[in-house]
Structure 1
């Protein structure tokens, strides 16, 4: 065997080994789970990694052979962790969140959130205009986006009481029943769902809504734009197979592209 022949064979062997290692390295990267966070906001995001947005996200990534890991984190903290790149994505964010925390969505809407007011059944108050909030105390959730005009109202008033934690809506419902404040603000679908689970639905009543529903996205940090596009591709596959609609039907949700479809 000549020296040139030996070197040629050695080079070929080395190249093959490097390609093999590169393939294994790439596979290990793609197999690394994405870390996705939210607080509990059922039926969008429920306990036990359920909820229609959670399941759509899980199945969309499964279609792309990408594992994911969900964690329950107070919403305001999750927003900051995603912004800093410590978490890959956060479920159910609004355009204001996307802008404020520099998130990426690939323009995929996964639902809509209304801005609704609830009181106890014994409190005869009704929301018609923003001035109606001047004489009541209102429970809200830290980090949530209620739209520009309501956000401004909240920022310039001391009549709003803020809840935080992994299940702040449950906290606000219990506070409302105990008389800690007169009114709570949230999403009608989520409030009704949570109240029914807590057997409190007969103690509260819907007292009006404000403005147009806000679109909701899965928000990714700027280092995970490829994951966002992968999510979009996975959802497209689910729509073609019909599984997308099956997940919505499971939670009695109308198609999330329709902002008027807010009642399960």
Structure 2
């Protein structure tokens, strides 16, 4: 894993990498929160937030894509300094340093092909469908425990673009439903020109809505980064810059009340 991260850094590095201070963020592709690292104009709104906040302190942000399990390990081992899209309820990341305030909020749902009769109506309703999920993702204890039951038809995929694989499996009827964040699924499906889907219900438990963070290495530098980011995002919100960045990805500030008009893509 060390040589993979090192190679990615070398490939993406420019002369500016030799600046006095550089902060490496790692994650898999999870648009619109964090997208492909080589898309400089649209790297994901959480990446743009970090770039804007840390640039004010003379810190250059470098973002690399890794499979989620490797991204978590790279931050735990200090190979990267920040994990994008971390949650407080993930046992693999609880030792990291989290900002006081979130950098986003995900809304996990079941998604399936349009026209199917199935709707989520409790765990018992899952017995009739084949579930698609992403390896090493946390979906909350209720759903995670259910999917861990032997012989439950769950198909997990990995890699740095796992949702694309799951959508292709849904299209080919190899699975029936996908568990994913609403905004991430909509964004990825649009990029694949896949419109024949509909939302089939929220996942069970309180983790249907979960705060998202960029979590940092458990050391003094990580604590400094967390404080700078937390304060910086608050300042961006106050200046209207947060709303400006999120509008670029057709999103609204997660702290604003959700209205029917702002969620018209349901």
Q: Aligning the two structures, in what range does the TM-score lie when normalised by the shorter sequence?
A: 0.7 to 0.9
Q: Paired residue for 2:226?
A: 228
Question: C-alpha separation between the residues in 2 aligned to 1:72 and 1:199?
Answer: 23
CA RMSD of aligned residues (A): 2.3
**Which is further off, 135-144 or 205-214?**
205-214
SS state of the match for residue 97, structure 1?
coil
Asked if 1:115 is matched to 2:108, the reply is yes
Q: Paired residue for 1:5?
A: none
Question: C-alpha separation between the residues in 2 aligned to 1:100 and 1:232?
Answer: 18
Mapping for residues 14-29 of structure 1, pairs under 5 Å: none
Question: How many matched pairs?
Answer: 236
SS state of the match for residue 42, structure 1?
coil
Give 1 or 2 for the bigger CA radius of gyration. 1
Q: Paired residue for 2:243?
A: 245
Question: C-alpha separation between the residues in 2 aligned to 1:200 and 1:29?
Answer: 42
Any gaps of 5 or more consecutive residues in structure 1? Answer: 1-27
Compute the TM-score of the two structures, normalised by the length of structure 2.
Answer: 0.81
Q: Deviations over 1:48-96 (max 9, x none)?
A: 1521111111111112211110001111111111112221011111112
Deviation at 1:35, TM superposition (A): 0.8
> Structure 1 runs of 4+ off > 3 angstroms?
98-101, 258-264
SS state of the match for residue 90, structure 1?
strand
SS state of the match for residue 114, structure 1?
strand
Asked if 1:146 is matched to 2:139, the reply is yes
Match of residue 161, structure 2, among 163, 167, 177 = 167
Question: C-alpha separation between the residues in 1 aligned to 2:154 and 2:127?
Answer: 10
Any gaps of 5 or more consecutive residues in structure 2? Answer: 1-16
Asked if 1:78 is matched to 2:76, the reply is no
Between Structure 1 and Structure 2, which shows a larger proportion of helix residues? 1
Question: C-alpha separation between the residues in 2 aligned to 1:115 and 1:178?
Answer: 23
Question: C-alpha separation between the residues in 2 aligned to 1:61 and 1:86?
Answer: 19
